[in-house]
């Protein structure tokens, strides 16, 4: 019998897209250089350099919920072609939510987390694990991230 088996890309062929630089590659000195498959298509990185092409170093894969909850910029939700889309960074990063309810809950959880962090900045001695509101928000985030 014959058939086609999809092969993972070679390390030097794997590329990602950034908003400002277009395609970037993982630097050969990076620990993740030989990683040919990531569970999530999103990476965060510490350093970006340009030699023969643009490379990123010190990168880690990040899954959807931590990116939505801890990523920069405002979270927006809209209905597009019958699907509820959560977007970050003025629509550059987009996710399809399972339902309107899930999209609203994630957006609300992000707003609550942002407010909690603002409260912590105003009152650095506040213990977020002891504070009832803080412990509920943190508990919900931990549950969401660990069970996704």
| 48's tokens | 């970006």
- pLDDT tens column, 5-55: 667 777 777 889 988 889 999 999 998 898 888 888 889 999 999 999 999
Q: Please, what sign has the CA dihedral across residues 82, 83, 89, 92?
A: negative
Q: What are the residues whose beta carbons fall under 8 Å from the beta carbon of 63, sequence distance 6 or more?
A: 39, 40, 42, 145, 148
- pLDDT tens column, 113-132: 999 999 999 999 999 889 89
Residue spans per domain, the chain: 11-62, 65-146
Residue 77 contacts residue 86 (beta carbons within 8 Å): yes
Q: 141 pLDDT exceeds 80?
A: yes
Residue 59 contacts residue 46 (beta carbons within 8 Å): yes
pTM of the model: 0.74
Q: Which residues of 30-43 are buried (b: 16+ CB within 10 A; e: fewer)?
A: bebbeeeebeeebb
């Amino acid at each position: 019998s014959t058939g086609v088996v999809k092969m993972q890309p070679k390390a030097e062929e794997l590329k990602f897209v950034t908003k400002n630089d277009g395609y970037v590659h993982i630097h050969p000195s990076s620990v993740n250089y030989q990683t040919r498959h990531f569970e999530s298509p999103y990476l965060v990185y510490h350093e970006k350099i340009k030699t023969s092409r643009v490379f990123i170093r010190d990168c880690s894969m990040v899954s959807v919920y931590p990116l939505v909850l801890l990523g920069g910029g405002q979270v927006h939700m809209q209905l597009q072609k019958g699907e509820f889309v959560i977007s970050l960074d003025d629509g550059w990063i987009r996710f399809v939510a399972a339902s309107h309810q899930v999209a609203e809950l994630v957006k609300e959880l992000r707003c609550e987390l942002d407010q909690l962090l603002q409260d912590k900045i105003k009152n650095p001695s506040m213990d977020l694990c002891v504070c009832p509101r803080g412990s509920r928000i943190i508990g919900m985030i931990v549950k969401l991230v660990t069970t996704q």
